Amino acid sequence: MIKSLTLLYVEDDASTVRSFMNAFGDYFKEVIIARSAEEGLELFAKHTPHVLITDLQLPRMSGLEMIERIRQTHPSFPIIVNSAFSDAHLLLQSIALHVDSYILKPTDPYQLLHVLEKMARIITLEKKLNTTREMTQAMIDGIPDSIIYIEPNYTISMMNEAAKERIDDSCLANKCFNLSQKTMPACSEDGSACPMETVKKTKQPVTLRHIRKDKKGNKQHVEVHMRPVLDMKGEIIAYLEIVHDVTKYLTIQDRLMAETEKLSHISMHDPLTHLPNRRLLMDRIEQAIQHKSRSKEMFGVFFIDLDHFKDVNDLLGHSNGDTLLIEVAKRMKKAIRKGDTLSRLGGDEFVLIIENGIDSSYFGKIANKIQELFQEPFILNGHTIMSTCSIGISLFPQDGKNAELLLRNADAAMYASKSGGRNQFQFFTSLMMHSTILQAEA
């Protein structure tokens, strides 16, 4: 292992240098000789050796001063002091500068060799560790999601490029967001629970949805996956956080939901008046049947048809006819309660579901109220139009126990109103159905 190392040997005594080279020169890949501390600093910067062996008593600058300067930029660099001085003060100074070993002169070759072999093993392991770390860094840098490796004291010891791009530069100063200062919110703009604190309590992976801000202050919806890194005893030694940005996904999802709701609305509503169409009407009637079957209450189905609507289309054009339908729908919507349903089947036919009725007289009052809406003329692009309507009413449960039958019977009652002179309402009777059957057979 020593053979792979480059040594910087700082010694001003020529005979000591020769003795060292004779004993250890072949053990190293290369031995660089410096005769002074100043030359040692120069060669250290130029060659970047793996190990430094130095005497303390050197001309001009001392070995301790040289070590102190090296420690400013290389706090963990392997350094061996080889000195004839056994003074306790020098030893304490060396310890303060984190010298790895202090070997007294005359040098015991076996002791020095032992120290160098141990140091070589550490350097080799550190190289492997650095290589593994570099490989890991390269791998996680290729992942688009943010990845952060957090120590138990909230120190960030590793993160990928995606994390560096997302996180504010202040977070790169080693601490995980605001956790170390115990400020809230720690890492979420919406005050969500910190996943790291949750994992600390449970030792189980957790996934939370957070709202965070990027460097530009834009809000991002993210899924935070936090998992513990455990040692052989099952104790937490670190935390791995993977953050997946779901902002675009949620935006697309919201758009799809909006489009789905729009399409659903279109499929359930009349495009002209925006009232519920036949499909939604039948669903509302079935809902009313289920509800009233349980409560043993009545509800009414009103089939409303405009009188002489064809004349409006023929005389004023279909555009004015459409405007009349829209205005009729507006008036009726204002007159009904929130829980009732007004729909357009097509043409000039409307259907109204009135719930919570007590008896037929109540529904008759509603029909009168609807007809009163037509007493005021309609203004259609400068044309004043007087319109009326014919209404047929079927009641649940006596006139039908399913949506199709209730609607058909209300339709039959409406035709009876038409036959009776229009501008009136009638309740369904069984005789009306017989009349309708006879008309169909004829």
Per-residue b or e along 49-70, where b marks 16 or more CB atoms closer than 10 Å to that residue's CB: bbbbbbbbebeeebbbbbbeeb
In a domain? residue 262: no
Same structural domain, 107 and 16:
yes
pLDDT digits (tens, 9 = 90+) for 55-78: 999 999 999 999 999 999 999 999
Token pair in block for residue 442: 């004829």
Same structural domain, 12 and 117:
yes
pLDDT-based confidence at residue 50 (cuts at 50, 70, 90): very high
pLDDT digits (tens, 9 = 90+) for 198-224: 898 899 999 888 887 777 777 888 888
Same structural domain, 238 and 276:
no
pLDDT of residue 6: 92
Last residue of a domain, one of 136, 154, 185: 136
Q: Phi/psi at 331 (nearest 5 deg)?
A: -65, -40
d(CA 169, CA 190): 21
Q: Considering its fold, how many domains does the chain have in total?
A: 3
* pLDDT above 90 for 403: yes
In a domain? residue 394: yes
Which helix (H) or strand (E) segment holds residue 275: the answer is: none
d(CA 60, CA 431): 128
Residue 299 contacts residue 356 (beta carbons within 8 Å): yes
Same structural domain, 94 and 175:
no
Token look-up 């350094």 returns 79
Residue 395 contacts residue 364 (beta carbons within 8 Å): no
pLDDT of residue 189: 56
Global model pTM greater than 0.75: no
The single-letter code of the amino acid at 416 is A
Same structural domain, 278 and 423:
yes
* pLDDT above 50 for 437: no
* pLDDT above 70 for 438: no
pLDDT of residue 124: 85
pLDDT of residue 329: 96
pLDDT of residue 287: 95
Identify which has the larger pLDDT, 44 or 197. 44
Same structural domain, 125 and 204:
no
* pLDDT above 60 for 297: yes
d(CA 256, CA 252): 6
pLDDT digits (tens, 9 = 90+) for 346-394: 999 999 999 888 888 999 999 999 999 999 999 998 999 999 999 999 9
* pLDDT above 70 for 170: no
Same structural domain, 420 and 324:
yes
Same structural domain, 229 and 311:
no
* pLDDT above 90 for 309: yes
Q: Which of 387, 435, 438 is nearest to 415 (CA)?
A: 435
The strands making up 30-34's β-sheet, listed across from edge to edge, are 30-34, 6-10, 51-54, 79-83, 101-104
Q: Which residues are 8's β-sheet partners?
A: 32, 52
pLDDT of residue 172: 47
Last residue of a domain, one of 249, 280, 302: 249
In a domain? residue 255: no
pLDDT digits (tens, 9 = 90+) for 251-286: 888 888 888 888 888 899 999 999 999 999 999 999
Identify which has the larger pLDDT, 303 or 172. 303
**3 state SS of 173:** coil
pLDDT of residue 185: 46
* pLDDT above 70 for 182: no
Domain, as residue range, for 104: 2-136
In a domain? residue 312: yes
Q: How many CB atoms lie within 10 A of CB 160?
A: 22
In a domain? residue 260: no
Q: Which of 118, 73, 71, 112 is nearest to 95 (CA)?
A: 71
Mean model confidence pLDDT for the chain: 87
d(CA 288, CA 343): 15
Same structural domain, 99 and 215:
no
d(CA 345, CA 27): 99
**How much of the chain, in percent, has pLDDT values that exceed 90?**
54
Task: For residue 314, give the CATH number of its domain.
Answer: 3.30.70.270
CA atoms within 13 A on the CB side of 351: 28
Q: Phi/psi at 369 (nearest 5 deg)?
A: -60, -40
pLDDT-based confidence at residue 165 (cuts at 50, 70, 90): confident
DSSP, residue by residue, 369-405: HHHHTTSSPEEETTEEE---EEEEEEEETTT-SSHHH
Q: Which residues are 243's β-sheet partners?
A: 146, 224
Residue 6 contacts residue 30 (beta carbons within 8 Å): yes
In a domain? residue 254: no
Same structural domain, 279 and 428:
yes
Same structural domain, 397 and 331:
yes
pLDDT-based confidence at residue 128 (cuts at 50, 70, 90): confident
**How much of the chain, in percent, has pLDDT values that exceed 70?**
92
The distance in angstroms from the start CA to the end CA of the chain is 111
Task: For residue 107, give the CATH number of its domain.
Answer: 3.40.50.2300
Last residue of a domain, one of 249, 281, 316: 249
Task: For residue 160, give the CATH number of its domain.
Answer: 3.30.450.20
pLDDT digits (tens, 9 = 90+) for 146-160: 888 888 888 888 888
pLDDT of residue 168: 60
pLDDT of residue 140: 86
Same structural domain, 282 and 360:
yes
In a domain? residue 259: no
d(CA 343, CA 303): 10
Helices and strands of the chain, counted as H and E runs: 14, 17
Token pair in block for residue 230: 């455990």
Which helix (H) or strand (E) segment holds residue 311: the answer is: helix 309-316
pLDDT of residue 253: 86
In a domain? residue 77: yes
d(CA 92, CA 424): 113
Q: Alpha carbon 123 to chain centroid distance?
A: 44
